[in-house]
């Protein structure tokens, strides 16, 4: 889905809507695959954002983050998520 955001008067920026929230997955040895993350979260792998992939949070303890599309029928919150993923942006034009 293509979203348009106002950048300045008369200018717009194209943004593509991606998966909504971050979730934590765990694996004791090595980085989990997206398929393994989907099994842990009890969702089809298609609901995970492949372009985001699996990102390290604390590799020594085996914690990694994935982005998952959340639907209106999502389960209640758990210690694994959801966690928000706000856009980080500047407060004005670069100087």
Q: What is the pLDDT of residue 16?
A: 46
Predicted local distance difference test score (pLDDT) of residue 95: 76
Number of Cβ within 10 Å of residue 20's Cβ equals 15
Q: How many other CB atoms are found less than 10 A from the CB of residue 36?
A: 18
Tokens matching residue 87: 């856009």
pLDDT for 91: 78
> What is the C-alpha to C-alpha distance for residues 62 and 57, in angstroms, rounded to an integer?
8
Could you tell me the two tokens for 50? 């492949």
State pLDDT tens for residues 73-95: 455 556 676 677 767 777 778 77
Delimit the domains of the chain by residue range. Answer: 19-87
- pLDDT higher than threshold 90 for residue 34: yes
Give dist(CA 31, CA 62) in Å, integer. 8
What is the C-alpha to C-alpha distance for residues 89 and 15, in angstroms, rounded to an integer? 13
Residues 6+ apart with CB under 8 A from 21: 67, 68, 70, 81, 82, 83, 84, 85
- pLDDT at position 12 is 47
**pLDDT for residue 36:** 96
Q: Is the pTM of this model over 0.75?
A: no
């Amino acid at each position: 889905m293509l979203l348009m955001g106002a950048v300045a008067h008369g200018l717009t920026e194209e943004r593509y809507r991606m998966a909504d929230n971050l979730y934590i997955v765990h694996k004791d040895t090595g980085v989990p695959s997206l398929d393994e993350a989907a099994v842990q979260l009890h969702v089809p792998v298609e609901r995970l954002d492949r372009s985001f992939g699996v990102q390290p949070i604390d590799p020594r303890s085996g914690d990694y983050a994935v982005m998952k599309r959340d639907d209106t029928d999502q389960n209640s919150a758990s210690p694994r998520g959801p966690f928000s993923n706000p856009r980080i942006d500047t407060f004005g034009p670069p100087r």
